[in-house]
Chain A
Amino acid sequence: MNIVVEHSENNLCPFIISISKVLNAIGHKIIFWNQNHKSIYEMLEELKPDIIIVNNSLKPNYWEIIKNKKYIFYGNHDPINKAIAKITKTNLIDLISYPYTFENHIFNTDILFSSNYYQKERDLSRLMDKVFEKTDLRIKYCGHSHIQSPYFAGFLETEEFTKIALCSKIVITTDEIEKISLLNRKIYAILSNELDIEEIDEICKNEKIRKSKLKEERKKIIDNTNSIEYVANLLENIGLISDKERSLSLIGNLS
């Protein structure tokens, strides 16, 4: 079987390494395809894949073509991916949830104030001044709009903002929809007018505990998901491996 794995990033994720090792060991042909170097039309014509393995970095216009083929989808288990899976009607497997998170520790922040929807007429600087006086937490403003404050760390694109928000304990926003969007990504977000300064230390403390627990859980899931045995089970479930025992003996020397 020709199996094409879409991978446009520099480093291969452990899940893809495991799945490729298993498939290779049981005699399938694995080919990596970079969507930025070669279009999907060229790839389909040249490689004639039986199965395509894709993740959420696939270009949106390619989903229309992919959904008519046999494919495996792996990616972040977040609402956006669920929506993609729903739209594209996965025909081989509903969804392989591969949980990975981006954490950039250099941006670790206690309170991140989003300036994405900040309007100058709403004078929030007084509120934030109180927060600065009250606590000695790490605080910064980031986002699309400039806020006249030394705590404004710089402009950010939406995607980068989410990455930094993931490393923050609380995100304060002025926009209801942004708050909902952040909460969906399991980021503690609060509207500026809902902020209770008296409770801010307590919230940060609780968030720290919650995040460390979440990190441990994720690590366990990722370790399990990346194991060769997990991948072999998965492939057996979707019919790519017919005889699990035989396959496992073949790949026994891999790990």
Chain B
Amino acid sequence: MKKLGFLMHQMLPNQKTNALSINLNEMVQKYPDIDPILFFNDIGMCNIKNEFAVMQTIEALDYDGILIATDEISVNMFKACMRAKEKYFYVWDINWFYNPRPISNIKSLYLNDDVKLIARSKSHFDIISRVFKKPEYIIQDFNVDEIKSIIYDR
């Protein structure tokens, strides 16, 4: 069984949570050899019924699969996830543009050598590669067929 974990700070009824839930539900059906888990800090509320495992973030600290953070708060938790095979940051939005901060803060999120980046679109890919570092993948809205390439490319 291939382990794939997603970290999300808060599950809210928004486009990101919906896209992730739909695609993880599809993953469970389509790729039975992949075991996806969603780790959350605050379960909030979600419009879509989950058919995959959902756990509190504390469980991710000892997780030994591939971890994908979906927001900046989750990336900061990566420091404590010592056993993760690989760490990715799925850059859903260009947050540094909406919320400008000192570069020392941004550095640990987008320029961390241990964390590989995933861009959401070609235009995001261009911006991230110019300002920070080249993302490893372009995956549109957590597309399940593209996400599986992270596991099978290894």
Q: Which segment, of A65-73, A145-153, A171-179, faces chain B?
A: A145-153
CB distance A139 to B130 under 8 Å? Answer: yes
CB distance A106 to B111 under 8 Å? Answer: yes
CB distance A140 to B131 under 8 Å? Answer: yes
B 94-136 contacts with A by CB, 8 A = 94, 96-97, 100-107, 111, 113, 127, 129-133
CB distance B105 to A154 under 8 Å? Answer: yes
Q: How far is the CA of A132 from the CA of B123 in the complex (A)?
A: 12
A137 on the B face (CB < 8 A): yes
Closest residue of chain B to A151 (Cβ to Cβ) is B131
CB distance from B75 to the nearest CB of A (A): 15
**Given contacts A149-B97, A152-B96, A152-B97, are A142 and B130 in contact (CB under 8 A)?**
no
Chain A residues near B113 (CB-CB < 8 A)? 106
Chain A residues near B129 (CB-CB < 8 A)? 138
CB distance from A154 to the nearest CB of B (A): 3
**Given contacts A106-B107, A153-B106, are A146 and B100 in contact (CB under 8 A)?**
yes
CB distance A138 to B130 under 8 Å? Answer: yes
Q: How far is the CA of A152 from the CA of B100 in the complex (A)?
A: 8
Closest residue of chain A to B98 (Cβ to Cβ) is A150
CB distance A150 to B102 under 8 Å? Answer: no
**Given contacts A106-B113, A107-B111, are A153 and B105 in contact (CB under 8 A)?**
no
A 95-151 contacts with B by CB, 8 A = 106-107, 132, 136-140, 142, 146, 149-151
Count of residues in B whose CB is under 8 Å from the partner chain: 19
CB distance B131 to A153 under 8 Å? Answer: yes
Chain B residues near A106 (CB-CB < 8 A)? 107, 111, 113, 133
Q: How far is the CA of A106 from the CA of B109 in the complex (A)?
A: 12
Chain A residues near B111 (CB-CB < 8 A)? 106-107
Chain A residues near B106 (CB-CB < 8 A)? 153-154
Chain A residues near B101 (CB-CB < 8 A)? 154-155
Chain A residues near B96 (CB-CB < 8 A)? 150, 152-154
CB distance B130 to A156 under 8 Å? Answer: no
CB distance from B131 to the nearest CB of A (A): 5
A160 on the B face (CB < 8 A): yes
CB distance A155 to B100 under 8 Å? Answer: yes
B 129-146 contacts with A by CB, 8 A = 129-133
Q: How far is the CA of A106 from the CA of B131 in the complex (A)?
A: 11
**Given contacts A106-B107, A107-B111, are A154 and B132 in contact (CB under 8 A)?**
no
CB distance A156 to B102 under 8 Å? Answer: yes
Chain B residues near A151 (CB-CB < 8 A)? 127, 130-131
Chain A residues near B100 (CB-CB < 8 A)? 146, 152, 154-155
Q: How far is the CA of A152 from the CA of B127 in the complex (A)?
A: 10
CB distance A154 to B97 under 8 Å? Answer: no
Closest residue of chain A to B112 (Cβ to Cβ) is A106
Chain B residues near A136 (CB-CB < 8 A)? 130
Closest residue of chain B to A107 (Cβ to Cβ) is B111
Chain A residues near B133 (CB-CB < 8 A)? 106
B 32-69 contacts with A by CB, 8 A = none
CB distance B131 to A155 under 8 Å? Answer: no
A-B interface, 5 closest residue pairs, ranked by CB to CB distance from nearest? A154-B103, A150-B97, A154-B106, A155-B102, A106-B111
Complex A-B: 17 CB contacts under 8 Å:
A106-B107, A106-B111, A106-B113, A106-B133, A137-B130, A138-B129, A139-B131, A150-B96, A151-B130, A153-B96, A154-B103, A154-B104, A154-B106, A155-B100, A155-B102, A156-B102, A164-B103
13 extra A-B contacts, CB within 8 A, seeds A146-B100, A153-B103, A153-B132? A106-B133, A136-B130, A138-B129, A138-B130, A138-B131, A150-B97, A154-B101, A154-B102, A154-B104, A154-B106, A155-B101, A156-B102, A156-B103
